[in-house]
C-alpha cells in the first residue's frame, strides 16, 4: 500500500499506512526498546536518506525528458530529508526550486504547492526569521483553503502554525485568535 506523507505544524513527517511501512516502524520501535540501536544510528540514517534524495534529484536533472513534476517531486523529497538531517539551507533551496517549478506549470492540485511553502516557512521559523515565516504562512492559507477546504484538518494545522508564529513575534492576541479558530476545525 502506498504511504502518504502528512505534515504537521511541528514539521514532523507522520507515516500513515499498512504493510511493510507499518511493520518496519514497529520493528524499529522494538529494536530501540531492546537496546539494539546504537547512538548515532538516527543521524546516520538521516544522512543516508539525504544522500539518496540528492542522487535522485541529480538523476532527474540529467535524464532528458524528465517531466517538471517529477523533478519537483524529487526536490520535495530532498527537502523532507534535508529537514530531518538538519540541513536547513539544502531544504530551503530544494523547496524553493520545487515551488518555482510548480508555479511555472500550474496544476489543479495545489497540495504540492502548500507543502513546498510549508517547508520554506518552517526553515525560516527554525532560523528565527519569524516575520518572513509568517508572510509565507499567510500565503499558505489561501492555498490550503483551495486544496483541502476551509474545514479540513490541514487548515487547522495551518492555523496552529500561524498562532505559533504570531506568538513568536509578540502578537499574543493574534496567536490566541488563530489558535481558537484552529480548535474549532
Query: Any idea of the CA torsion for 42, 47, 48, 53, to the nearest 10 degrees?
Result: 130
CATH architecture of the domain 39-184 equals Alpha Horseshoe (1.25)
Q: Are 125 and 133 in contact (CB under 8 A)?
A: yes
The predicted structure's pLDDT at residue 127: 92
Record the pTM. Answer: 0.69
Q: Looking at residue 41, what is its pLDDT?
A: 79
CA 100 – CA 104 distance, rounded (Å): 6
pLDDT at residue 172, as a whole number: 83
Delimit the domains of the chain by residue range. 1-37, 39-184
Name the helix (H) or strand (E) containing 14.
strand 13-16
What pLDDT digit, counting tens, does each position of 66-117 carry? 999 999 999 999 999 999 999 999 999 999 999 999 999 878 888 999 999 9
Each residue's pLDDT tens digit, 109-163:
889 999 999 999 999 999 999 999 999 999 999 999 988 988 899 888 898 898 9
Q: At what angle do helices 88-104 and 111-126 cross, to 10 degrees?
A: 150
Amino acid at each position: 500500500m502506498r504511504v502518504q506523507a502528512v505534515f504537521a505544524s511541528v514539521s514532523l513527517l507522520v507515516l500513515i499506512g499498512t504493510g511493510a511501512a507499518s511493520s518496519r516502524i514497529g520493528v524499529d520501535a522494538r529494536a530501540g526498546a531492546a537496546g539494539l540501536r546504537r547512538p548515532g544510528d538516527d543521524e546516520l540514517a538521516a544522512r543516508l536518506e539525504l544522500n539518496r534524495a540528492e542522487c535522485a534529484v541529480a538523476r532527474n536533472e540529467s535524464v532528458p525528458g524528465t517531466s517538471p513534476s517529477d523533478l519537483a517531486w524529487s526536490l520535495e523529497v530532498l527537502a523532507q530529508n534535508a529537514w530531518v538531517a538538519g540541513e536547513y539551507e539544502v531544504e530551503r533551496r530544494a523547496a524553493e526550486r520545487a515551488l518555482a517549478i510548480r508555479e511555472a506549470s500550474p496544476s489543479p492540485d495545489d497540495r504540492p504547492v502548500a507543502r513546498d511553502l510549508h517547508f520554506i516557512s518552517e526553515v525560516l521559523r527554525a532560523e528565527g526569521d519569524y516575520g518572513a515565516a509568517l508572510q509565507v504562512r499567510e500565503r499558505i492559507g489561501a492555498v490550503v483553503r483551495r486544496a483541502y477546504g476551509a474545514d479540513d484538518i490541514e487548515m487547522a494545522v495551518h492555523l496552529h502554525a500561524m498562532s505559533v508564529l504570531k506568538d513568536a513575534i509578540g502578537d499574543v492576541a493574534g496567536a490566541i485568535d488563530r489558535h481558537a479558530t484552529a480548535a474549532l476545525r
